[in-house]
Amino acid sequence: MSAFSTNVDCRFVGNSSLFFHPADIVSCRQIHSDIIKIADESMRGTEVPDCDALITNVPNLPLLIRTADCVPVVLFDECRRVVANIHSGRVGTQKQIVLKTVEMMRSQFGSSPSDIIAAMGPHICGKCYEVDAACASEFGEKFVVGFSKDQKPLIDIASACKEQLESSGVHSKNIFISDICTAESSEWPSWRRDKCSERLGTFIVLE
């Protein structure tokens, strides 16, 4: 994961030896949807229009999504050598984009959910994600973790993503969730906190 701007800031968490050329990045023109597209060699270095998740089995083809409170979800099937990168915001989560991405990995590449490793990057936590009553009802009561000072519901969007992974067949032991809240930490972009244009860029690439 790295901070993202017009110049890609390659500060990686995890494998510091990982490197790819910014000109190779395939990104989404995100629209807060459940639209998933498969990235192939012809898309290298492009922004794919109107989608919120990308899947590929092409080595050295980095996939990028951008978030600023939404949940970035990366998936890796080591057996079939397939990766996915998902922008799971409020609308995408409600439309089950995470579950649908796993299903597309299975239908298009033969992935078994039990072989998939999933990780969620920094995102807004349940203590900070205030929504209106209508939005909370769409998520379901089990994801309402409390109420704000104004008595508005607080929802745990990462838990909703986790449930989608588990219901698709991904093992709980293979799901890793960052405990960093973007709204609470000034080191991370947060639309709720700052109303700014800065975004967190989350990459995944097959070596």
Per-residue pLDDT of the chain (207 residues; tens, 9 = 90+): 333 333 334 444 344 455 678 889 999 999 999 999 999 999 999 999 999 999 999 999 999 999 999 999 999 999 999 999 999 999 999 999 999 999 999 999 999 999 999 999 999 999 999 999 998 888 888 999 999 988 999 999 999 999 999 999 999 999 999 999 999 988 888 998 888 778 999 999 998
Q: Answer yes or no: is 165 within a domain.
A: no
Which pLDDT score, from 0 to 100, does residue 18 have?
53
Q: Answer yes or no: is 61 within a domain.
A: yes
CATH of the domain at 71: 3.60.140.10
Q: Which domain holds residue 40?
A: 2-124+171-204
Q: Answer yes or no: is 143 within a domain.
A: no
Rounded alpha-carbon distances, angstroms, from residue 64 to 27, 56, 105, 146, 169: 5, 12, 17, 33, 25
Rounded alpha-carbon distances, angstroms, from residue 32 to 35, 86, 92, 95, 202: 9, 11, 6, 10, 16
d(CA 139, CA 104): 23
Q: Answer yes or no: is 194 within a domain.
A: yes
Q: Which two tokens stand for residue 4?
A: 């993202």
Determine phi and psi for 158, rounding to 5 degrees: -65, -35
Which pLDDT score, from 0 to 100, does residue 1 have?
36
Half-sphere exposure of 193 (CA within 13 A, CB side): 19
Q: Determine how β-strand 2-4 pairs with β-strand 71-77.
A: unpaired
Which pLDDT score, from 0 to 100, does residue 192 have?
87
pTM: 0.89
Of 162, 207, 201, nearest in space to 12 by CA: 201
d(CA 175, CA 157): 15
Q: Answer yes or no: is 52 within a domain.
A: yes
Q: Answer yes or no: is 160 within a domain.
A: no
- Number of compact structural domains in the chain: 1
Which pLDDT score, from 0 to 100, does residue 19 have?
66
How long is the chain?
207
d(CA 138, CA 100): 18
Rounded alpha-carbon distances, angstroms, from residue 24 to 85, 100, 163: 15, 26, 33
H-helix segments, the chain = 90-94, 97-109, 133-139, 157-168, 191-194
Which pLDDT score, from 0 to 100, does residue 36 have?
98
d(CA 185, CA 68): 12
d(CA 74, CA 120): 7
Q: Answer yes or no: is 134 within a domain.
A: no
Q: Answer yes or no: is 150 within a domain.
A: no
